[in-house]
Amino acid sequence: MGEGNLYVSVDYGRATGPAVDDGTRPWTREDPPFWANASIWLEPGIDKAKVGQPSFIHVRVSNKSQQEMKNVQVQTFIFTPTVGVPVTFNDCIKNNGAKLGIPSGSGTNAADDGNVVKIGPWTPVPGDLKGDGHMCLIANVFQTEEGSFPLPPDPGSHEIVSQDENPFNPNGDSHQCQRNIQLLPATQQAIQQPVKVVYTTRPSSPTVHPRAYQIKMDLVDIDGFTADELFILSRQREIEFNGSESKDGELRLKTSWGTERIARGPRPLSFDLKAEGIPGFGQTFERDAKMPQDIPSELEVQIDPEAPVGSLHTFDITLHDEKELVGSGLRVMVLVTE
């Protein structure tokens, strides 16, 4: 679905070519997948938050019309990293932005750009965060009849006000977007042991006829960097970036002896999944009435112990049934450091 003028571009700033997202949904490209949207981020931290530290959520809204769209609002929903069905409306941390005008076009990812909506501050309390503070973000862009008068509101847009009718659909509604990406720096000493990724698996609710599920891991193995990789890496203090977000550039990791070029690391990786009721990645399991909706999951990733400093290892964790992807995935980036 993409009949409106407002949308949040998945592939803005693709490093491997010009952006192609015009708001048409579903988004079917894997470079990047829809849950690696580069048009939504936290500041500071990009995808991580800290207890007691105010955070702002930025959402870059695209406008296909030739005129400013007035009184546009953005809602954001924050929750711990999840693979599968999104969490419920009631389980999210919710923030609503003020009504703003969105100029024609897509703008840039600069925080002061006219297409970028800044929401917050949100200051996490201890109960908000788990693990290392990585958070999943979903945003919804809408106009109301009152706000858009005398013109009708943007077609297909609406405010999310309750859990009714499964409100989160970031790959079916162009007014929504999702960012579920985790950057894990790991020293050369640390990769002698598996790197741990902690998240929650959420299969669909059990039905009369049980569904068979599988957890899959898909490695990102392309030349250059995807838009989401470039966006996150170029904003790290330990990384120098020679280029722009709209084209390939060189990323160099600062070390005690100078800098090292960041490049895709050696393959293959090995995985070990620990989650109650799930036998392992690539193995079939069913969800019955006894299995909880939220399944705490820990993935151990073994990287080549000889992987050089600056090597990047990116993969997606996804949940599938017999027919298709269930919900959304989690993109993990492991960067080997000094």
Which one of 126, 161, 179 terminates a domain? 179
pLDDT of residue 246: 47
CATH number for the domain that contains residue 186: 2.60.40
- Residue carrying the six token digits 């600069």: 110
Domain identity same for 74 and 151? yes
Domain identity same for 104 and 12? yes
Contact partners, residue 235, CB within 8 Å, separation at least 6:
46
How many CB atoms sit inside 10 A of residue 269's CB?
Answer: 18
Domain identity same for 218 and 72? no
| Cα gap 100→8, rounded to integer Å | 15
Number of domains the chain contains: 2
pLDDT of residue 157: 92
Q: Is residue 277 part of a domain?
A: yes
Contact 319, 284 (CB under 8 A): no
Domain identity same for 93 and 215? no
Which one of 145, 179, 213 terminates a domain? 179
Domain identity same for 229 and 321? yes
87 SS3 class: coil
In angstroms, how far is CA 268 from the centroid of its own chain?
A: 24
Q: Is residue 1 part of a domain?
A: no
Domain identity same for 162 and 262? no
Q: Which domain holds residue 273?
A: 182-337
Contact 139, 177 (CB under 8 A): yes
pLDDT of residue 44: 80
Q: Is residue 72 part of a domain?
A: yes
Domain identity same for 283 and 167? no
pLDDT of residue 228: 87
pLDDT of residue 130: 67
Domain identity same for 251 and 106? no
Domain identity same for 120 and 190? no
pLDDT in tens, the chain (338 residues): 557 899 999 987 654 555 688 899 999 888 789 999 989 998 887 767 788 889 899 999 999 999 999 999 999 999 889 999 988 888 888 999 999 999 999 888 787 889 999 999 988 887 776 666 688 999 999 997 776 666 788 999 999 988 765 679 999 999 999 999 999 999 999 999 999 999 999 998 776 567 889 999 999 988 888 888 988 998 899 999 886 554 556 899 999 999 999 999 987 899 999 999 999 888 999 887 788 889 999 999 999 999 999 999 999 999 999 889 999 999 999 999 99
pTM of the full structure: 0.92
Question: Could you tell me which of 42, 143, 55 has the C-alpha nearest to residue 100?
Answer: 143
Would you say the C-alpha torsion 259, 37, 54, 93 has a positive or negative sign?
Answer: negative
Which one of 125, 148, 179 terminates a domain? 179
Domain identity same for 108 and 249? no
Domain identity same for 188 and 318? yes
158 SS3 class: coil
pLDDT of residue 317: 97
Domain identity same for 169 and 230? no
Q: Is residue 142 part of a domain?
A: yes
Q: Is residue 28 part of a domain?
A: yes
How many CB atoms sit inside 10 A of residue 119's CB?
Answer: 19
